[in-house]
Each structure stands twice: as C-alpha cells, then as structure tokens.
Amino acid sequence: MRYLYFACFLIFNLCGCSSSKVASNKDPNFNQKLTKIYLILKTPKYSRDFKEQFQKTFLDELAKRNVLCFYETPDPLALETEADVQKRIAEAAPDVVITFTQTEGVVSTSGNSGWMNNRMNTFSYSQFSSVFDVKMFVPNTERALWRANIDVSASGDVSEGGQKTAKKLIAQLVKDGLI
C-alpha cells in the first residue's frame, strides 16, 4: 500500500500538469486577418522555461497558419529608448504589435519525504501561477484593438504551461477572427 501512495505522488506531482484560461476582448471594427506580427515578450527571469516554450510553440503555430512573426524579449536593464524599439518595429513592418506581459506570478516549491527500500527519499516539485496581459496594437498607435488576459497554473515542468498557453492564445486569436 505504501508503494501505491508513493506511485500516486510521483504521477501527480513530478509528471506535472498545467492549465491556461484565456479571456479576450476585440474592437468590433477591427476585422483584419493578420499576416505579420511583432511580438514583445516581457517576463521575469524565473519564467525562462515557460517563456522559451511559449515562444517556440507560438512561432510554430503561427507558421502553420502562414503568419510571420518577429519577436523580442527586452532586457529589463536595457538602456535603449522607446524610439529604438519603434525603429525595430518599423523595420519589421508588421500588421500589429502584440505585447505579452507578465503582471502577476507566484513560484512555490514543496517537498515530501518518505521511506522506500529502507532509506529516506525526498522529492520536491514546483508550482507556477501567473497572469499575463496581452495587448494588440497597430504600430505607432496607443489604443489596443484586441486584449486578452491569461491565467496559467503549472506544476512540475513549467515549460508545458508555456506550450499550452501558446496554443490557447492561438486558438483565441482564431476564434476572434484575427488569424
């Protein structure tokens, strides 16, 4: 029976699982199908695994739909000006700019110990919970034409959360008629 509990612990906590919820709002007058996007990812360092998988999956999913995407992940210590960013955006000439910004985040690590094969074993796992604000603008404008809020929860391998979040965001863009 002890081994059954141990096996259940491993399955539920070390294998990881994730969920993402997306809510969006689109300007009813904006009906353009997107062909070129400039994505700006703003996440903290502890979100690296999530961000890398999100970025890869998002770009792959856009490519499947023949949408070109340029992206950048600004360094929070960069000394560049807003004009520098606008110049890069202008050079890419996208239909829209999407900012993907983490507004909330919690990372917690837990551990359990137990006896197995006559020795003490310790197992730890992490949980990641974040909220992202996603805004879509036409370059050189301030008013958002589309906006989404994404709640993400992941345990174990948070990169899975990045993949699922990218796929849900793409699904929402499709549902809203943008791609």
62 burial level (CB within 10 Å; 0-12, 13-18, 19+): buried
User: Would you place residue 152 in the very low, low, confident or very high pLDDT band (cuts 50, 70, 90)?
Assistant: confident
Who wins on pLDDT, 105 or 96? 96
pLDDT digits (tens, 9 = 90+) for 79-101: 999 899 999 999 999 999 999 99
User: Would you place residue 130 in the very low, low, confident or very high pLDDT band (cuts 50, 70, 90)?
Assistant: confident
How far is it, in rounded angstroms, from Cα 133 to Cα 103? 7
**Regarding the domain delimited by 2-175, which CATH topology (the fold level of the hierarchy) does it fall under?**
Rossmann fold (3.40.50)
Four-residue CA torsion sign, 82, 92, 130, 49 = negative
Q: How far from 35 is each of 41, 63, 172, CA to CA, in Å? A: 19, 10, 16
User: Would you place residue 114 in the very low, low, confident or very high pLDDT band (cuts 50, 70, 90)?
Assistant: low
Q: What pTM did the predictor assign?
A: 0.78
Q: Are 154 and 50 in contact (CB under 8 A)?
A: yes
Strand order in the sheet with 96-116: 17-26, 146-155, 119-137, 96-116, 36-42, 68-72
- Give the rounded percent of residues in the chain with a pLDDT score beyond 90: 47
Q: Are 104 and 130 in contact (CB under 8 A)?
A: yes
pLDDT of residue 127: 65
pLDDT digits (tens, 9 = 90+) for 63-76: 999 999 999 998 88
Q: State yes or no: pLDDT of 14 exceeds 50.
A: no
